[in-house]
């Protein structure tokens, strides 16, 4: 059984107990360790179930590469599925539960899947569940879905109570990985004076070296690490971060760092995670290497672990995975584990070495310690059900039909060699090269990721670079070269010397025994979480899924939450072997960010809930809120749809507002309307290009309604332009279109007409704009006193500036309602006071605000078009009978050529008309007029559609506008519209202007 050792543990604090619960059971660990160490110390080796077969699973690794030991962490709103115990620091009050089993961890009924593995081979589901057809949806898929997934989903109502933050940062050299190579690279780079950042994903500096017994200048690695950190901390040009993982390397040296700020210490007001968005001049990856498992039957049983992980638990946390541990290897490195175990007083029945000979210094040391070493042997199979009880040994070159020895043991430490962590090198296009000595892919320094200048911006050092011996000199050079590449010129002192024992090369043993029979291959796991076995990869190869990407996708190898950190190379080796080609000819799958999964919360970075997007408020927002506004989002604005009074529903409120505006005075908060100032000597010329109308001839003091089209001639925006002076225009746009139109102007000015002297500025938020609408509008303004707003002083389609009731006002005599109307802009800061004043002065005149829906109805009664209703990106001004607004005198304007194309001038285009149902009802939104015929594709043929439809309280009936084929020529004709539930609604084509056709009311 796994247990705590009496002494040792370089990272734990035995004086500080930490209490936690596991599946409801109370347990105790020590401060400074991972949850994995605590669980093992408590004898807990069974920690979950695999994906497909629900096989028992225990801890294999000690870090980010762990595929098996995932738990649900925390409770309620703080519950988080799939948390790796190997990267979770244990803390007081931690609660966790195991996943993916039913009814319980020890007794999982779904484990029946593993009784029939010969049926559930790779991709079996592509070959079956085919009939009967309806069964996939109703039977097969629901069953598959039920058994899929790992952790439980958070509750539907869960609301994450924690905060997340994002931070932008810059540095010359970013070093990722705080092992001795990373520390040296950081030091050498920093000593040149470059700005250096160093990230380490765990809570400790130093990485593997202190565990592996590396000595530096004759001292323990720990001593050098401490001294180096002290030096780095003392330098102002260095920024150090623990618990910060390099998550992804993106173009232009943009690197994401995932800092788990308070996962280990919840309940403080620190954010939970912080996402660093680092812009680095150069990047050095010092991300180390990950040990590979070996493929032998039963290599997935709880108790079978990576040899390096076993060493980590023993040395760092004083935890042994068992009483008696068999070590199996194809290289020298694993002997360190045997030695460490023996030194800790743990039984090591044997080291099983696949190589014909083993005699490096580490092997000698192990032998000297009295450990039995078997060479030319492998594990035939691991015995046990939910835990290891022993191993059967066989000759490595055999088929494994029989065993040569049997050992009792309760854990196995395996080592299949190492794989450099090349992920970050590869994210942005760095290429790899196969190393024949160590049998791994390592970064190809001649093909790094390239920056905008065509030069590489990532370097690797240490074991991340495939360096399996001394690393400090190489790291020093990498740090220095990176700093120099950013322009630094200082010369750092030479690095210290790290001593590592000589190691014999590994043997490329990918499977034990080499010629294993099918029955054994069917029990050799490559991907522990997804249950992909050697036999599955071989089957994929046989079936022609021979590209490594095909194999991956067909078998799901490497697609689990560890993204194949343990399984990829082994799988690749098996595949290459099956295809009879060398491994580099097979190649790897693409490495994609993030290096390990990062929280959705950190990615969102706190921009959620009310601050998801900026909420734009007009100066009158508070008044609306206090007076029954029924809000409607319009872009990032929020506008009152209507103001609901006691006893009213939406519909009644809207009708009241319309009627009041037609009889008394309505007030509209029009502050959201875009207001863009276009000025400069070439402003007129620019305006003529922007609008279909002629704008350069507009006289200062006058307003003109104008249309803007895109290059294709489609109507994009409309509004009233006021000429402020000879070289300045104020452009009004739609509320939703303001930012787009401003961007559009700048696009043309910056990319095409960069030599025109025009300046644009978006003034939308600088002004409050209020429409005072209705027959008594002028009366109200006159009461305010100040500038002359009489009919003669301020004519229809004119504007003027002055003081109104003591406010600084710009008054536009325009109308979007058909009533006498003034739109008055005052500085934003005066908006609320002005609004209040209008309400107070006009109380006896029946002044009353109206919302967006009344605005729509007022304009529709009058036959005015609305961008977004009558237009949808496919409508040209001519379709809306707006030919009058298209200048014939201009040589060019945006959209001119577009609207001259064949289909645009075609007589069959649908054109704007008014529509009146015969029974007075309101036509459904978007209803289409049907001809009764069919298209070539057997769809009902149509000849028109409703673009706007409302109940008109003025006319007391439904009114609508629509686009109809040959519409204006068909006045009086009755069309049939298709409504919901096959209803057919008859409507007559009429003039779209239904109210005050002569325009008498607006020009008074």
Partner 1 sequence: MKHYSAFAIAREAFRQHTGWGRAWASPEPRKSYDVIIVGAGGHGLATAYYLGHRYGIKNVAIIEKGWLGGGNTGRNTTIIRSNYLQDPSAAIYEKSRSLYETMSQDLNYNVMFSPRGVMMLAQTEHEKRGYLRTERANALQGVETRFISPAEVKKLVPIINLDGPRYPVLGALWQARGGTARHDAVAWGYARACSAMGMHVIEQCAVTGVTSENGMVTGVNTTKGHIGCNKLGIVVAGHSGALADMAGFRLPVESVALQALVSEPIKPCMDVVVMANTVHGYMSQSDKGEMVIGGGADGFNNYTQRGSWHHIEETVRALVETFPMISRLKMLRQWGGIVDMTGDRSPIISKTPLGNCFINCGWGTGGFKATPGSGYAMAELVAKGEPGPLAEAFSMFRFREGRFIDESVAAGVAH
Per CB under 8 A, contacts with partner 1 among 47-66 are: 51
Residues numbered 412 to 441 that lie near partner 1 (CB under 8 A) are 428-429
Distance of closest approach, residue 866 Cβ to partner 1, in angstroms: 10
Q: Which of 75, 447, 592, 986 binds partner 1 (CB under 8 A)?
A: 592
Q: Is 126 in the site for partner 1 (CB under 8 A)?
A: yes
Nearest to 274 by CA among 265, 261, 285, 287: 261
Tokens linked to 775: 């027959």
Q: Min. distance of Cβ 449 from partner 1 in angstroms? A: 10
Neighbours of 133 (CB within 10 A): 7
448, 458 contact by CB (below 8 A): yes
Using alpha carbons, select from 223, 202, 227 the residue that is nearest to residue 214.
Answer: 223
Query: Of 35-43, 86-94, 145-153, 953-961, which segment contacts partner 1 by CB under 8 A?
Result: 145-153
Rank residues 580 and 980 by Cβ distance to partner 1 and give the closer one.
980
DSSP string over 109-136: GGGGGGG-TTTS-TTHHHHS--SSHHHI
Where does this chain touch partner 1 (CB under 8 A) — which range of 20-28, 384-392, 546-554, 963-971?
Answer: 546-554
* Beta-carbon contacts of residue 752 (< 8 Å; ≥ 6 apart): none
**Paired tokens of 723:** 């000429």
d(CA 221, CA 209): 6
What count of other Cβ atoms lies within 10 Å of the Cβ of residue 253? Answer: 22
For position 872 contacting partner 1 by CB under 8 A, the verdict is yes
**Dihedral, CA atoms, 140, 141, 146, 148, nearest 10 degrees?**
110
Site for partner 1 in 103-122 (CB under 8 A): 118-119, 121
Among 10, 204, 277, 652, binds partner 1 (CB under 8 A): 277
Toward partner 1, which CB reaches closer, 940 or 974? 940
Are 861 and 994 contacting, i.e. CB atoms less than 8 angstroms apart?
yes
Q: Which region, judged by CB under 8 A, interacts with partner 1, from 154-162, 232-240, 407-415, 454-462?
A: 154-162
Binding window for partner 1 (CB under 8 A); candidates: 281-289, 291-299, 464-472, 549-557: 549-557
C-beta of 658: minimal distance to partner 1 in Å? 17
Contact 38, 58 (CB under 8 A): no
CB of 639 to partner 1, least distance (A): 10
To partner 1, the closest distance from the beta carbon of 607 in angstroms equals: 5
By the rule CB under 8 A, 584 interacts with partner 1: no
**Within positions 881 to 910, which residues make up the interface with partner 1, using CB under 8 A?**
898-899, 901-904
What is the SS3 assignment for 658?
Answer: helix
Tokens of 744: 């559009």
Judged by CB under 8 A, does residue 585 bind partner 1? no
Draw the binding track, 496-535, toward partner 1 (x: CB under 8 A; -: no contact).
----------------------x----------------x
Q: How far is the CB of 826 from partner 1 (least distance, A)?
A: 28
In this chain, which of 115, 139, 144, 585 binds partner 1, going by CB under 8 A? 144
Q: Which residue from 659, 654, 647, 626 is spatially nearest to 846, judged by alpha carbons?
A: 659
705 φ, ψ (degrees, to nearest 5) = -80, 130
Binding test (CB under 8 A) with partner 1, winner from 500, 604, 677, 833: 604
- Exposed (0-12), middle (13-18) or buried (19+): which is 617, by Cβ within 10 Å? middle
Long-range contact pairs involving 265-269 (C-beta distance under 8 Å, separation at least 24): 265/91, 266/78, 266/91, 266/162
| Alpha-carbon gap, residue 328 to 354, rounded angstroms | 8
| 16 in Cβ contact with 30 (< 8 Å) | yes
Among 8, 9, 151, 182, binds partner 1 (CB under 8 A): 151
Stretch that binds partner 1, among 485-493, 780-788, 887-895, 938-946 (CB under 8 A): 938-946
Provide the minimum distance between the beta carbon of 567 and partner 1 in the complex, in angstroms, as a whole number. Answer: 15
Q: Shortest approach of partner 1 to residue 137 CB, angstroms?
A: 6
Backbone φ/ψ region at 901: left (φ over 0), alpha (ψ -120 to 50), beta: beta
- Scanning residues 354 to 393, which ones bind partner 1 (CB under 8 A)? none
Q: Pick the binder of partner 1 from 227, 845, 930, 993 (CB under 8 A).
A: 930
Interface segment toward partner 1; rule CB under 8 A; list 153-161, 236-244, 701-709, 784-792: 153-161
Q: Between vectors from CA 166 to CA 165 and to CA 168, what angle results, nearest 5°?
A: 150
Which residue bears the tokens 């079956």?
128
Which contiguous run of DSSP H or E holds residue 822?
A: strand 821-827
Query: How many residues would you count in the chain?
Result: 1004
CB of 672 to partner 1, least distance (A): 14
Q: Is residue 942 a contact point for partner 1 (CB under 8 A)? A: yes
* 922's tokens: 């309101």
> Looking at 597, 628, 701, 802, which residue binds partner 1 (CB under 8 A)?
597
Tell me how far, at minimum, the Cβ of 568 lies from partner 1, in Å.
13
Question: Which residue number, 123 or 390, has a Cβ lying nearer to partner 1?
Answer: 123
Q: Cα separation of 711 and 768, whole Å? A: 32
Q: Which is nearer to partner 1, 87 or 329 (CB)?
A: 87
Angle at CA of residue 807, ends 805 and 810, nearest 5°: 105
Interaction residues for partner 1, span 685-724 (CB under 8 A):
712-713
Can you tell me which of 3, 31, 92, 154 binds partner 1, judged by CB under 8 A? 154
266 forms part of the interface with partner 1 (CB under 8 A): no
What are φ and ψ of residue 197, in 5° steps? -125, 140
Size of the site for partner 1 (CB under 8 A): 116
**E strand spans, 830-927:** 847-849, 910-917
Closest to partner 1 by CB, 755 or 902: 902
Q: Between 81 and 474, name the residue whose CB sits nearer to partner 1.
A: 81
Cβ neighbors of 844 (< 8 A, separation 6 or more) are none
Residue from 106, 107, 125, 401 that binds partner 1 (CB under 8 A)? Answer: 125
Q: Can you tell me which of 265, 940, 971, 1004 binds partner 1, judged by CB under 8 A? A: 940
Q: Which of residues 556-575 bind partner 1 (CB under 8 A)?
A: 556, 561, 563
Closest CB to partner 1 among 549 and 726?
A: 549
């Amino acid at each position: 059984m796994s247990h705590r050792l009496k002494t040792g543990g370089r990272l734990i604090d035995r004086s500080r107990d930490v209490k936690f619960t596991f599946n409801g059971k109370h347990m105790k660990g020590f401060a400074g360790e991972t949850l994995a160490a605590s669980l093992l110390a408590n004898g807990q080796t069974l920690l979950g179930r695999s994906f497909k077969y629900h096989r028992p699973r225990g801890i294999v690794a000690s870090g980010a590469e762990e595929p098996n030991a995932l738990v649900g962490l925390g409770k309620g709103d703080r519950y988080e599925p799939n948390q790796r115990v190997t990267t979770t620091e244990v803390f007081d009050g931690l609660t966790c539960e195991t996943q993916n089993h039913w009814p319980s961890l020890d007794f999982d009924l779904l484990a029946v899947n593993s009784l029939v593995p010969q049926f559930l081979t790779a991709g079996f589901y592509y070959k079956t569940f085919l009939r009967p057809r309806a069964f996939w949806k109703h039977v097969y898929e629901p069953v598959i879905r039920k058994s899929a997934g790992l952790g439980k989903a958070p509750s539907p109502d869960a609301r994450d109570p924690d905060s997340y933050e994002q931070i932008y940062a810059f540095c010359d050299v970013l070093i990722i990985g705080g092992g001795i190579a990373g520390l040296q690279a950081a030091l050498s780079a920093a000593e040149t004076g470059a700005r250096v950042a160093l990230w380490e994903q765990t809570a400790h500096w130093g990485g593997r070296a202190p565990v592996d017994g590396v000595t530096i200048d004759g001292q323990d690695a720990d001593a050098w690490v401490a001294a180096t950190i002290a030096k780095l901390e003392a330098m102002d040009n260095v920024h150090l971060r623990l618990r910060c993982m390099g998550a992804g390397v993106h173009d232009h040296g943009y690197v994401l760092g995932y800092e788990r700020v308070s996962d280990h210490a919840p309940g403080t007001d620190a954010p939970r995670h912080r996402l660093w968005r680092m812009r680095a001049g150069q990047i050095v990856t010092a991300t180390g290497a990950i040990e590979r498992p070996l493929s032998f039957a039963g290599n997935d049983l709880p108790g079978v672990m990576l040899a390096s992980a076993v060493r980590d638990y023993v040395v760092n946390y004083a935890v042994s995975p068992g009483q008696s541990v068999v070590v199996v290897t194809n290289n020298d490195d694993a002997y360190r584990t045997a030695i460490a175990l023996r030194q800790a007083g743990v039984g090591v029945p044997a080291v099983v070495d696949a190589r014909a000979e083993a005699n490096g210094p580490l092997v000698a040391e192990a032998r000297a310690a009295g450990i039995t070493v078997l060479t030319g042997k492998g594990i035939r199979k691991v015995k046990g059900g939910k835990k290891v009880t022993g191993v059967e040994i066989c000759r490595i070159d055999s088929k494994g039909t029989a065993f040569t020895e049997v050992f009792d043991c309760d854990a196995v430490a395996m080592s299949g060699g190492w794989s450099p962590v090349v992920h970050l090198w590869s994210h942005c296009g760095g290429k790899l090269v196969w190393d024949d000595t160590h049998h791994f892919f390592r970064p190809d320094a001649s093909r790094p990721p390239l920056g905008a200048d065509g030069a590489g911006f990532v370097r690797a050092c240490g074991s991340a670079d495939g360096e399996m011996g001394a690393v400090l000199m190489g790291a020093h050079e990498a740090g220095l070269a990176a700093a120099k590449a950013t322009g630094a010129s200082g010369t750092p002192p030479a690095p210290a010397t790290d001593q590592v024992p000589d190691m014999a090369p590994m043997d490329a043993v990918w499977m034990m025994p080499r010629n294993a029979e099918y029955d054994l291959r069917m029990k050799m796991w490559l991907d522990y979480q997804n249950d992909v076995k050697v036999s599955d990869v071989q089957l994929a190869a046989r079936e022609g899924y021979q590209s490594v990407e095909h194999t991956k996708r067909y078998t799901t190898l490497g697609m689990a939450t560890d993204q194949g950190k343990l399984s990829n190379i082994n799988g690749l080796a098996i595949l290459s072997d099956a295809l009879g080609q060398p491994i580099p000819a097979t190649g790897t799958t693409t490495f994609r960010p993030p290096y390990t999964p990062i929280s959705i919360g950190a990615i969102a970075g706190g921009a959620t809930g009310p601050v998801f997007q900026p909420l734009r408020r007009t100066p009158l927002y508070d008044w609306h809120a206090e007076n029954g506004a029924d809000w409607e989002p319009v872009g990032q604005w929020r506008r009152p749809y209507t103001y609901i009074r006691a006893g009213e529903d939406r519909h009644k409120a809207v009708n009241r507002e319309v009627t009041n505006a037609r009889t008394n005075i309505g007030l509209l908060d029009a502050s959201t309307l875009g207001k863009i100032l276009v000025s400069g000597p070439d402003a007129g010329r620019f305006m003529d290009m922007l609008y279909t109308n002629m704008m350069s001839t507009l006289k200062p003091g006058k307003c003109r309604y104008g249309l803007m089209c895109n290059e294709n001639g489609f109507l994009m925006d409309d509004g009233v332009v006021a000429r402020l002076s000879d070289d300045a225009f104020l452009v009004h746009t739609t509320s939703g279109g303001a930012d787009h139109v401003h961007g559009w102007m700048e696009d043309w000015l910056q990319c095409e007409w960069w030599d025109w002297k025009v300046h644009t500025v978006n003034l939308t938020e600088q002004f409050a704009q209020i429409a005072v609408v209705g027959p008594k509008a002028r009366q109200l303004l006159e009461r305010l006193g100040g500038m002359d707003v009489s009919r003669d002083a301020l004519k229809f389609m004119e504007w003027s500036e002055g003081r109104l009731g003591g406010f600084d006002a710009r008054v536009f005599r325009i109308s979007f309602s058909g009533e006498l109307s003034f739109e008055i802009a005052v500085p934003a800061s005066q908006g609320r006071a002005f609004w209040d004043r209008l309400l107070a002065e006009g109380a006896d005149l029946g002044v009353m605000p109206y919302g967006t829906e009344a605005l729509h109805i007022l304009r529709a009664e009058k036959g005015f078009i609305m961008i977004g209703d009558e237009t949808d990106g496919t409508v040209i001004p001519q379709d809306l009978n707006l030919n009058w607004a298209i200048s014939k005198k201009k040589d060019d304007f945006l959209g001119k050529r577009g609207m001259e194309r064949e289909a645009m001038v075609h007589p069959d285009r649908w054109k704007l008309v008014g529509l009146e149902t015969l029974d007075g009802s309101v036509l459904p939104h978007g209803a289409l007029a049907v001809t009764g015929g069919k298209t070539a594709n057997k769809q009902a043929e149509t000849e028109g559609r409703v673009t706007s439809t409302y109940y008109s309280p003025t006319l007391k009936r439904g009114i609508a506008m629509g686009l109809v084929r040959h519409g204006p020529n068909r006045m009086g004709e009755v069309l049939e519209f298709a409504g919901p539930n096959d209803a057919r609604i008859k409507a007559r084509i009429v003039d779209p202007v239904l109210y005050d056709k002569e325009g008498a009311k607006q020009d008074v």
